[in-house]
Amino acid sequence: MRKPAMAMKTALFVFLLYVLHCAVCRDVTLPTGPLYRVAGFPLSLPCVVSGYEGPRTQDFEWFLYRDDSGGRQMGVVSTRDKGFPYAPFQARVRNGEVRVERDSGEAVRLVIQRLRAEDQGNYECYTPSTDTVYQGNYSNMVTVKVIPDTLQISYSRALTGQPVPEGAMLTLTCSGSIRSQQLTHLSITFGKRGGGDSSGSGAGGEVSTVREIISIDKMLGIVPGHSYKKRYDDGEITLEKRNGEGGQGVYVMRMKAVRPDDSGSYFCEASQWILDPDRSWQKIAQRMLDIGNLTVQQLAESLSITSSPRGEVTLQVGSPLILTCEVLGLPSEVNSGLLVQWMKRGSVRSDAVVAGGVEVEVARMSTDGIVSWGDDLSRANGGSMEKVAEGKYSLKLFSARPVDTGVYRCVVSVYAGRSNPGSSTPATLTQKSEGVIVNLKTKDVAVSAVAQLPRGPLLKRGNTITLICNATVKTTGPAQVQVQWLRWPIPEPVIRGSVSDGAPPDPPVVETPRLIAALMHDGVVNIHSNGSEVSVDRLSAISYRLRVHQAAIEDQGMYACHAEVWGQDPHGGWYYTGVKAESNALNVYLYARAGDLLLIPLVVGVSSALFVGIIIIATVTCCFMNRLAKQRARK
Ligand SMILES: *[C@@H]1O[C@H](CO)[C@@H](O)[C@H](O)[C@H]1NC(C)=O
Ligand SMILES: *[C@@H]1O[C@H](CO)[C@@H](O)[C@H](O)[C@H]1NC(C)=O
Ligand SMILES: *[C@@H]1O[C@H](CO)[C@@H](O)[C@H](O)[C@H]1NC(C)=O
Ligand SMILES: *[C@@H]1O[C@H](CO)[C@@H](O)[C@H](O)[C@H]1NC(C)=O
């Protein structure tokens, strides 16, 4: 029973010893082969040693067993011995074309800058022993196959450096091909050197920045360059692969609308990739091709906006106002979207002439040709905005009115290279024309207004208030009067003044008149009162009547009428001439009804009796006390 147990223990001990022992065995690691590399391009072989004793910085020696050498070993390069390389490698080692690069004490790389066909074979990485006991593996081998360089790249049309207008489309085409026995992949990158300094590196001066624009990677995925990501996402930059003749890949990069900072020197670069046995992708060949220089001409340098007529125009009211906007210096080869706006500053509003003020939009034509009108929608009926020729836009107000006076300006926003930009796309450039001053001469118009309360019995509550407004117009040609009645409370400054004792008097309260009713120039009546019934009518050519039926106490107040003169233009349209008159104010006071009046004597009687009583008491008290005081003083 004890013997097998002993045997097992011994076996376990031996195994443990082996494991412990071999945990510190030297091992040399190389990538798994075979590795296919392209002639003329670099070979980089990493070699790592582990499980060694002695100094941390280990020495390495590289040997090559050429296929045709019948197993003969050839010294390539060593980290410790300058005389190590065999004749074929001596010159290449001396000029650094073949070398060992050290990554750490225990990891190096054999680098052959330009592989030659005769470099094919088995490479051995050997580490001289620094161990107390010779244990483990002191070298390792990897097979390197040198394949011919078949990577080809070409472009179909070079950039000449001739200025290209901002917004133009840029198309670059590169073709690439590889003919390899091995399965290798091709990647293509379009890039740019120098030109636009959008990175804004504060140092200034000529910094040759290389930027990747867009790539098609080894797995055929499209990858935009860092600073081009937004434009790629917006669909402004595309890259497409087509199948060309003889298995060639044709790669077409498009920039929809070039910008000034796209100026620079363009190139395309093709890379050949292979999947190594350790499943890592390695770039084994690369070739770059200059396509040429791009110079982008800024739109701002050529664009100009003019409007005609220029300077100042004076028109008769009712005559047409025609303004034309011309967009000059748009490159014809670029299909740009235009937003054209007519703006106006200053006008005659219905109550006052406003100089300066904000600029308002009269009308606009969007990039898709749709015309919309600004706030004053009445213009839309009497006006038009049209594209009369390429780059020429007209604004027509068929019958100009006094409100149309002001300074007109044409504002053009250019969306270079985008005939139908999205609503979030900013304009490439916005420019304004010089202003055109438009004056309108009105006919000589004069108006006066008189308001009158017809004679009659005193107005009492419940009666009908009647007000006559006579508006007299002196003008030539057809005219109409628009009449408004207004009311505001009867001012009461005396009462307010007597109440205040010592305190500064209140500023007079300005009550804004309230519009009661209006008779429009076209005969339409507008009633604005919501209390008593109100009616408005025209009694004669100049007389207009306002009646407030069943007048209540709230209908008391100051009344006045306003008369505005409207003229008719030759096309039959009515317009406000800007001429108006205000009538005198009428005080409308409503007396109490007979029933209410009965109360007055009673109230007066009681209050006067009280008054007399107080006077008597006061006089008696005062005089009697005075006399008493005098008598005491004499004593
Ligand atoms: C040394 O190499 C041989 C075969 O090349 C292998 O079987 C052995 O495990 C290696 N030893 C160590 C310690 O890696
Ligand atoms: C492109 O421009 C660079 C300088 O910006 C110049 O050195 C180079 O010769 C130009 N190339 C061509 C093809 O015009
Ligand atoms: C208003 O005009 C009428 C005639 O239409 C006339 O009888 C009246 O006296 C005029 N009133 C005033 C205040 O002018
Ligand atoms: C209607 O009358 C009330 C009370 O007099 C007033 O507050 C309101 O503003 C009036 N509404 C209109 C539209 O005039």
Q: Among 265, 267, 294, 296, which residue has the most ligand 2 atoms within 8 Å of its CB, making it the best to mutate?
A: 265
End-to-end alpha-carbon separation of the chain, Å?
A: 158
Within 8 A by CB and 6+ apart from 369, the residues are: 387
Count the Cβ atoms, other than its own, within 10 Å of residue 132. Answer: 8
Domain limit, last residue, from 297, 312, 331: 297
Instruction: Please list the residues that pair with 123 across neighbouring strands.
Output: 64, 142
**Does residue 227 form part of some domain?**
yes
CA distance 110 to 31: 12
Residues 390 and 460 in one domain: no
Atom in ligand 3 nearest the alpha carbon of residue 539:
5
CA distance 626 to 581: 65
Whether 15 maps to a domain, the answer reads no
Domain presence at residue 19: no
Give residue 306's identity as a one-letter amino acid code.
T
> What is the mean pLDDT, run by run of 10 residues, along the chain of 635 residues?
54 51 77 92 93 86 88 88 84 91 92 93 90 83 93 87 89 91 92 66 54 92 92 92 86 92 92 93 93 91 89 79 92 89 73 61 92 77 88 90 88 90 86 88 78 83 91 86 92 53 56 90 89 91 92 91 83 74 90 63 57 61 59 55
Cβ–ligand 1 contact at 52 (below 6 Å): no
Of 455, 466, 468, 472, which is best to mutate to test ligand 3, by the most ligand atoms within 8 angstroms of its C-beta?
A: 468
The number of domains in the chain is 5
User: Ligand 3: which of 447, 452, 469, 470 to mutate, most ligand atoms within 8 Å of CB?
Assistant: 470
pLDDT for residue 189:
95
Q: Does residue 173 line the site of ligand 3, with CB under 6 A?
A: no
Distance (angstroms) between ligand 3 centre and the Cα of 470 equals: 6
The radius of gyration of the chain's CA atoms, rounded to the nearest angstrom, is 51
Taking CA atoms only, the protein residue closest to ligand 3 atom 7 is 543
SS percent in the chain: helix, strand, coil, step 5: 15, 45, 35
**Count, residues in the chain:** 635
CA dihedral over 419, 424, 430, 435, signed as positive or negative: positive
In terms of domains, do 313 and 221 share one? no
Give the list of residues 6+ apart from residue 137 with CB closer than 8 angstroms, or none: 25, 26, 27, 28
Could you identify the atom of ligand 3 that is nearest to the CA of residue 470? Answer: 1
Same domain assignment for residues 574 and 536:
yes
Q: Does the beta carbon of 25 lie inside 6 Å of ligand 1?
A: yes
Q: Is 136 in the pocket of ligand 1 (CB under 6 A)?
A: yes
Structure token pair of residue 78? 């060593």
* Alpha carbon distance 362, 380 (integer Å): 9
Cα 430 from Cα 545, distance rounded (Å): 55
Q: Which atom of ligand 3 is nearest to the CA of 541?
A: 5
Which residues does 453 contact at the CB level (< 8 Å), separation at least 6? 465, 466, 467, 468, 586, 588
Long-range interactions of 10-17: CB distance < 8 A, separation 24+ = none
Question: What's the CA-to-centroid distance between 531 and ligand 4, angstroms?
Answer: 8
Amino acid at 146: V
Report the candidate in 595, 299, 286, 570 with the shortest Cα–Cα distance to residue 428: 299
Residue 3 falls inside a structural domain? no
Q: Which atom of ligand 2 is nearest to the CA of 161?
A: 14
- Establish whether residue 336 lines the binding site of ligand 3, counting it when its CB lies within 6 angstroms of any ligand atom: no
Please name which ligand lies nearest the alpha carbon of 194: 2
Residue ranges making up the domain that contains 158: 152-297
Q: Who's near 37: CB < 8 A, 6+ residues apart?
A: 43, 115, 144, 145, 146, 147, 284
Residue type, 411: V
Ligand with smallest separation from the Cα of 18: 1
The token pair that represents 150 in the structure block: 């078949």
Give yes or no: residues 44 and 134 share one domain: yes
Residue 213 domain-assigned (yes or no): yes
Regarding whether 522 and 470 lie in a shared domain, the answer is yes
Instruction: Verify that 464 and 363 share a domain, yes or no.
Output: no
Closest CA to 120 of 83, 69, 86: 69
Residues 255 and 159 in one domain: yes
Write the CB contacts of 220 (distance below 8 Å, at least 6 apart in sequence): 241
Residues 425 and 452 placed together within one structural domain of the fold = no
Tell me, yes or no, whether 453 and 557 share the same domain.
Answer: yes
Ligand 1 pocket: which of 24, 27, 137 to mutate (most atoms within 8 A of CB): 137
Pair 353, 402 in one domain: yes
Report which bound ligand comes closest to the CA of 530. Answer: 4
Confidence at residue 349, expressed as pLDDT on a 0 to 100 scale:
47
How far away, in angstroms, is 516 Cα from ligand 4 center?
11
The domain boundary, picked from 245, 262, 297, lies at: 297
Q: Which atom of ligand 2 lies closest to the CA of 158?
A: 13
Ligand 3 mean position, distance from CA 473 (Å):
14
Question: What's the rounded Cα separation, in Å, for the pair 329 and 568?
Answer: 43
Asked if residue 9 belongs to a domain, the reply is no
The verdict on 617 and 579 lying in the same domain is no
Whole-angstrom distance, CA of residue 299 vs CA of residue 414: 9
Pocket-forming residues, ligand 2, beta carbon under 6 Å: 161, 194, 265, 292-293
Q: What string of DSSP letters covers 619-633?
A: HHHHHHHHHHHHHHH
**Number of Cβ within a 10 Å radius of residue 218:** 18
- Judge whether 80 lies within some domain: yes
Residue owning the nearest CA to atom 2 of ligand 1:
137
CB 449 within 8 A of CB 561: yes
What CATH code is carried by the domain that includes residue 395? Answer: 2.60.40.10
- Residue 33 and residue 71 share a domain: yes
In a domain, 502, yes or no: no
Burial class (CB in 10 A: 0-12, 13-18, 19+), 477: exposed
Q: What residue owns the CA closest to ligand 2's atom 4?
A: 265
User: For atom 7 of ligand 1, which residue has the closest CA?
Assistant: 137
Is residue 27 in contact with ligand 1, taking CB distance under 6 Å?
A: yes
Say which DSSP state 257 is in.
Answer: S
Q: How much distance in Å is there from the Cα of 558 to the middle of ligand 3?
A: 20
- Provide the strand spans (E) within 79-158: 98-104, 107-112, 121-126, 139-147, 152-155
Question: Closest residue (by CA) to atom 3 of ligand 3?
Answer: 543
Q: Which ligand is nearest to the CA of 454?
A: 3
User: Of 272, 297, 322, which residue sits at a domain end?
Assistant: 297
Residue whose Cα lies nearest atom 1 of ligand 2: it is 293
pLDDT the model gives residue 447: 82
Please work out whether the CB of residue 540 comes within 6 Å of at least one atom of ligand 3. yes
Q: How far is the CA of 137 from the centre of ligand 1 (A)?
A: 6
